[in-house]
Amino acid sequence: QQQVKQSPQSLIVQKGGISIINCAYENTAFDYFPWYQQFPGKGPALLIAIRPDVSEKKEGRFTISFNKSAKQFSLHIMDSQPGDSATYFCAAKINAGNNRKLIWGLGTSLAVNP
């Protein structure tokens, strides 16, 4: 119930294509869903995040789609660029009193070919 399942494990996309990474969860107590981007040799950095009261959030070429009934959310990268090549982590947070936990997906390694 505390897991966040992320897929695919790795993804190769051509420049200009759309990259799609999916995450699924079981626990309905999750109420915040961030995506972090990690470049080699660096720590993760917050990319975009969504609350469950909205179905979509867009920031530039990055969009989160959220399906509350299916307990799924996904990251879409439009017009993917070689500079987007990185590992992407989805996460989900519980904010119940003292039980404030951020549960991480296992990550997706994205390679965008020029």
Closest contact distance (angstroms) between CB of 2 and another protein is 10
17 vs 38, beta carbon nearer another protein:
38
54 binds another protein (CB under 8 A): no
Please report whether residue 40 would count as binding another protein according to CB under 8 A.
Answer: no
Q: Any residues with CB less than 8 A from the CB of 43 and at least 6 apart, and which?
A: none
- 68 contacts another protein (rule: CB under 8 A): no
Count of residues in contact with another protein, rule CB under 8 A: 22
Cα 58 to Cα 76: distance, rounded to the nearest angstrom: 9
Cα Rg of the chain, angstroms: 14
* CB nearer another protein, residue 17 or residue 27: 27
Work out whether 15 is an interface residue with another protein (CB under 8 A).
no
Which ranges of 4-98 would DSSP assign to H, the alpha helix? Answer: none
Among candidate residues 3, 7, 1, the one with its CA nearest the CA of residue 107: 7
